[in-house]
Amino acid sequence: MRARKVTDRVMWVGSVDWDRQLFDELIPLPDGTSYNAYLVTGSEKTALIDTVDPAKTGEWCGLMDAMQLSCVDYVIASHGEQDHSGSIPFALERFPEAKLVCTPKAKGMLIDLLHVDEDRVVTVADGDTLSLGDLTLEFIHAPWVHWPETMLTYLHERKVLFPCDLFGSHLAASELFVSDPARVYRAAKRYYAEIMMPFRTSIVKHLERLSGYNIDIIAPSHGPLHDNPKFIMDMYRDWVSGPLANKVVIPYVSMHGSTQVIVDRLIAALAEQGVQVAPHKMSGGDTGRLAMELVDAATVVLGTPTVLAGAHPQVAYAAILANALRPRAMFASIVGSYGWGGKAVEQLLALVPNLKVELFDPVLFKGLPSESDLRTIDELAGKIAEKHSDAGLV
Ligand code: FEO
């Protein structure tokens, strides 16, 4: 991809990764991703905001060659994670006069992770500005979106916010700006769910602070740019603190059919009660989709068979994931089956200390549940519907 114009004297100089399928060897990327870097050219100085993932360093160096840039004065490191910082050593080598600008916390990380020369680093405090001549960059410290060292950069004269991962989406696209809002909505929600959701308390504060800035363009580090900032900022406000949905998400596995019968009955009973249901089979399932459902589900019900006296490992994985993502769910339960006994319930509950939920009594059956067993599942659905109604979610 060639350099592309964002606005007057701001260029996109990143890389689109059409084929990447996993991030952190964990997160599915059904739509690839991009690593967005930006070049801001003032009347006196030039700043490069972030670089690209090491897998794209060669391509990125080719882009720099094509631009025939003679000088970069500042390399701004918004974030230490290597998908943005990984090519910084190459940028510093290519532009030997450049200073590396970052937060004090990022300085240590960049030295540890990339072995950059400490003498090249200039740290900036929250609210500091950097003059490029007729253009001014302001640095906004934004810890915990999603690392502790992150900062955002605001270009005053063009009203462009460079928020790094915040407001991003793992979406490889030929268009620079959002052109298909529904597609970007899904990708951004997936990104929020997987990366940002555990830090929503910090994000609330950052959103509040950003409301004091006049922003025309949001240029994140992943996915399309926003020339309608309200679109993505409203979505974030909804995800971090909007109303929960009258919805139950059910991560589950069934080995020989008993737990499937239970989950099917629960789905039907909840549907009859007017509750939205999002079943998610863990075996072979897309965990990003599960994360998205957790953004606004009021209730989580884990469904598990019993394996080696414990929960199925795939359901334990769902519990660990939910615990790490810290969704806003208010209620939870466990359903499932066993052959001769076990500790599946105790094991799963021990995996979710971060979930601040009211627990409905778990319901596990020995073997294939009978019709009278399944009426207990109907009762569980009734209790969930009642709680949702009491919470004003209906
Ligand atoms: Fe896109 Fe946290 O790096």
Same domain, 176 and 255: no
Q: Is the CB of 84 under 6 A from ligand 1?
A: yes
Q: Please name the residue whose Cα sits nearest to atom 2 of ligand 1.
A: 81
Residue-range definition of the domain harbouring residue 26: 4-241
Q: Which atom of ligand 1 is nearest to the CA of 221?
A: 1
Q: Is 79's C-beta closer than 6 angstroms to any atom of ligand 1?
A: yes
The full 3-state SS of the chain, as one line of letters, equals CCCEEEECCEEECCEEECCCCEECCCEECCCCEEECCEEEECCCCEEEECCCCHHHHHHHHHHHHHHCCCCCCEEECCCCCHHHHCCHHHHHHHCCCCEEEECHHHHHHHHHHHCCCHHHEEECCCCCEEECCCCEEEEEECCCCCCCCCEEEEEHHHCEEECCCCCCCCCCCCCCECCCHHHHHHHHHHHHHHHHHHHHHHHHHHHHHHCCCCCCEECCCCCCEECCHHHHHHHHHHHHHCCCEEEEEEEECCCCCHHHHHHHHHHHHHHHCCCEEEEEECCCCCHHHHHHHHCCEEEEEEEECEECCEECHHHHHHHHHHHHHCCCCCEEEEEEEECCCCCHHHHHHHCCCCCCCEECCCEEEECCCCHHHHHHHHHHHHHHHHHHHHCCCC
The per-residue pLDDT for 394 is: 76
Centre of ligand 1 from the C-alpha of residue 330, in Å: 29
The reply to whether the predicted model has a pTM over 0.85 is yes
- Taking residue 385's Cβ as centre, other Cβ atoms within 10 Å add up to 21
Distance from Cα 23 to the centre of ligand 1, integer Å: 10
Q: Are residues 236 and 327 in the same domain?
A: no
Residue 87 lies in a domain: yes
pLDDT of residue 347: 97
Within a domain: residue 189?
yes
Residues 368 and 291 in one domain: yes
Domain count of the chain?
Answer: 2
CB 236 within 8 A of CB 203: yes
pLDDT band at residue 158 using 50, 70 and 90 as cut-offs: very high
334 within some domain? yes
Q: 212, 241, 270 — which closes off a domain?
A: 241
Q: Is the CB of 296 under 6 A from ligand 1?
A: no
- Same structural domain for residues 256 and 344? yes
Residues 119, 141 within the same domain? yes
Q: How far is the CA of 165 from the centre of ligand 1 (A)?
A: 5
Same domain flag for 75 and 188: yes
Please indicate whether residue 221, judged by its CB atom, sits closer than 6 Å to ligand 1: yes
Give the Å distance between the CA of 245 and the centre of ligand 1.
28
In a domain, 27, yes or no: yes
User: How far lies 369's CA from each of 150, 194, 338, 351, in Å?
Assistant: 51, 35, 10, 26
Distance 248 CA to ligand 1 centre (A): 30
Nearest CA to ligand 1 atom 3: 81
Q: Which of 45, 11, 10 is nearest to 129 (CA)?
A: 45
Residue 393 lies inside a defined structural domain of this protein: no
Q: What ligand 1 atom has the least distance to the C-alpha of 168?
A: 1
329-388 pLDDT, tens digit per residue, is 999 999 999 998 889 999 999 999 999 999 999 999 999 999 999 999 999 999 999 999
At 90-147, the pLDDT tens digits run: 999 999 999 999 999 999 999 999 999 999 999 999 999 999 999 999 999 999 999 9
CA 191 to chain centre: 3
Q: Domain end: 241, 267, 289, which one?
A: 241
Same domain for 251 and 233, yes or no, is no
Give a yes or no: residue 102 inside a domain. yes
| Rounded to 5°, angle at Cα 232 from 298 and 237 | 40
| Domain end position, chosen among 207, 241, 275 | 241
Answer yes or no: do 255 and 169 share one domain. Answer: no
Looking at the structure, tell me whether residues 221 and 253 fall in a common domain: no
Which ligand 1 atom minimizes the distance to the CA of 146? 2
Same domain, 97 and 215: yes
150 CB under 6 A from ligand 1? Answer: no
| CB-neighbour burial class of residue 242 (10 A; exposed 0-12, middle 13-18, buried 19+) | middle
190 lines ligand 1 (CB under 6 A): no
The answer on 157 and 89 residing in a single domain is yes
**Is 99 close to ligand 1, i.e. is its CB under 6 Å away?**
no
Q: What is the pLDDT of residues 27-72, one digit of tens each?
A: 889 999 999 999 999 999 999 999 999 999 999 999 999 999 889 9
Asked whether residue 392 is domain-assigned, the answer is no
How many whole angstroms from 235 Cα to the centroid of ligand 1?
Answer: 19
CATH of the domain at 28: 3.60.15.10
346 alpha carbon, distance to own chain's centre = 29
Kindly indicate the confidence band of residue 259, based on its pLDDT and cuts at 50, 70 and 90: very high
Nearest residue (by CA) to ligand 1, atom 1, is 165
In a domain, 144, yes or no: yes
Ligand 1 atom closest to Cα of residue 222: 1
Shared domain for 57 and 180, answered yes or no, is yes
Determine if ligand 1 sits within 6 Å of the CB of residue 170. Answer: no
What's 291's domain CATH number? Answer: 3.40.50.360
222 lines ligand 1 (CB under 6 A): yes
